[in-house]
Amino acid sequence: MNMKRDEALTALSRHYPDGIVVPVYQGAFDWMAIRPHPLNYLCTGAMGQGSSHALGLALACPEESVVVLDGDGSLLMNLGSLVTIGHQAPPNFWHIVCQNGIYEVNGEFPVPGGTEVDFASMALAAGYREAYTFSDLNSWVRSLPDILASSGPILVVLKVEAGESYPRDYPAIHSEEARKRFKSALIARVSH
């Protein structure tokens, strides 16, 4: 049995309370409830673009940690980003992929390859420094501090299933207010 996504993300929020996060779709809805923060970048728009947006932020803000909360279906739509991330090798980049084998917010259709796709091996082949796969919450929690203390890029696959149901607030993740809030918080953070 896989871990619950909200429990896995809650554990992350305890170890990463204040950094930049680029959450994608269902992960974004969960993350907004678990860790509401002005440095949540809720502006990716099209599926698959979270990893590319996060890479841009990591390169533009090298003193800031950047975590992307990706989905398996979303990452499959932009696998080429793994090679670009591996080539650029931002040390401040952590790529977390919630793998549940379905396009959860788009009608729960199956993802090609389901839960068999080995994103960790793909990331290593693409040049990521490290990659891990977890299906057990306790192992994930024990490993989190070391992963976040290590130099990136690092990819972490979390084999998850749906946990608590959070509101799917599409207007919030696509709003101009969210973009302005993030921009202001980022300017304040990097100008110190």
- C-alpha distances (whole Å) from 188 to each of 179, 181, 191 are 14, 11, 5
| Residue pLDDT, tens place only, 53-68 | 999 999 999 999 999 9
Q: Is residue 44's pLDDT more than 80?
A: no
| Residue pLDDT, tens place only, 68-112 | 999 898 899 899 999 999 999 999 999 999 998 766 656 566 677
| Residue pLDDT, tens place only, 132-184 | 999 999 999 999 999 999 999 999 999 998 767 766 666 677 778 888 888 98
| Residue pLDDT, tens place only, 178-187 | 888 889 889 9
Burial letters 45-59, b for 16+ CB under 10 A, else e: eebbbbbbbbbebbe
| CB of 85 closer than 8 Å to CB of 51 | yes
Tokens, residue 127? 């040049």
Q: What's this model's pTM, rounded to 2 decimal places?
A: 0.91
Q: Is residue 21's pLDDT more than 60?
A: yes
Q: For residue 163, what pLDDT is reported?
A: 67
- Residue 185 burial by CB count (10 A; 0-12/13-18/19+): exposed, middle or buried? middle
| CB of 154 closer than 8 Å to CB of 131 | yes
Q: Is residue 43's pLDDT more than 90?
A: no
Q: What is the 3-state secondary structure (H, E, C) of the chain?
A: CCEEHHHHHHHHHHHCCCCEEEECHHHHHHHHHHCCCCCECCCCCCCCCHHHHHHHHHHHCCCCCEEEEEEHHHHHCCCHHHHHHHHHCCCCEEEEEEECCEEHHHCCEECCCHHHCCHHHHHHHHCCCEEEEECCHHHHHHHHHHHHHCCCCEEEEEEEECCCCCCCCHHHHCCHHHHHHHHHHHHHHHCC
Architecture per CATH, domain 3-185, reads as: 3-Layer(aba) Sandwich (3.40)
